[in-house]
């Protein structure tokens, strides 16, 4: 068992890597534990809204993500029978966001942008093929069991 002086994050998806990027940006070392052998290439959610883009901008990730996506300055509700029911122009909120639009881009594009920005930072570590098997909370910290190379490793973080 090893005691970590790093935050442990389970999963290198968009949420895990965004959390890691925020922590590293604030000087907190992070180890991300990813069950798979590489970053996922699955296309799950694909819409990034203005508040998310503003947050990603503070991490330096919005611009490269936007470059890989499609900008949608308007949002429409439609039905086959009635056609256009309503339309929202994101320009109406341009005074409260730096990104008055939505961006259509697969989550896998965001994870690659974040990973490319983080991977050379000594405060960041990503362990592939490391599924979390168990988590136990204690008064002084947490104990995490991960499977690595066919063995169970226990890490303790305080």
pLDDT tens, residue by residue, 74-127? 999 999 999 999 999 999 999 999 999 999 999 999 999 999 999 999 999 999
Look at the pTM and tell me if it is higher than 0.85: yes
CATH 3.40.1050.10 fits 1-43+107-158, yes or no: no
Q: Do the strands 30-33 and 7-10 form a parallel or antiparallel pair, or are they unpaired?
A: parallel
Domain locations in the chain?
A: 1-43+107-158, 47-105
Task: Evaluate whether 124 touches 25 at the Cβ level (below 8 Å).
Answer: no
How many other CB atoms sit within 10 Å of the CB of residue 78?
11
Strand ranges in the chain using DSSP code E only, listed in sequence order: 2-4, 7-10, 30-33, 47-48, 70-72, 74-79, 83-89, 102-104, 124-127, 132-138, 141-148, 151-157
Residue 43: the pLDDT is 72
């Amino acid at each position: 068992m090893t005691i970590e002086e790093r935050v442990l994050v389970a999963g290198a998806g968009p949420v895990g890597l965004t959390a890691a990027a925020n922590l590293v940006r604030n000087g907190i070392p992070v180890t991300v534990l990813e069950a798979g052998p590489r970053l996922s290439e699955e296309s799950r959610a694909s819409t990034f809204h203005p508040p998310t883009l503003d947050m990603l901008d503070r991490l330096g990730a919005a611009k490269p993500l936007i470059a890989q996506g499609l900008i949608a300055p308007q949002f429409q509700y439609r039905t086959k029978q009635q056609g256009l029911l309503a339309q929202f122009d994101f320009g109406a909120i341009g005074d409260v966001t730096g990104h008055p639009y939505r961006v259509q881009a697969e989550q896998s594009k965001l994870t690659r942008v974040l990973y490319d920005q983080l991977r050379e930072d000594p405060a960041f570590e990503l362990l592939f093929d490391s599924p979390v098997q168990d988590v136990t909370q204690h008064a002084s910290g947490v104990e995490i069991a991960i499977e690595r190379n066919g063995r169970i490793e226990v890490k303790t973080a305080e």
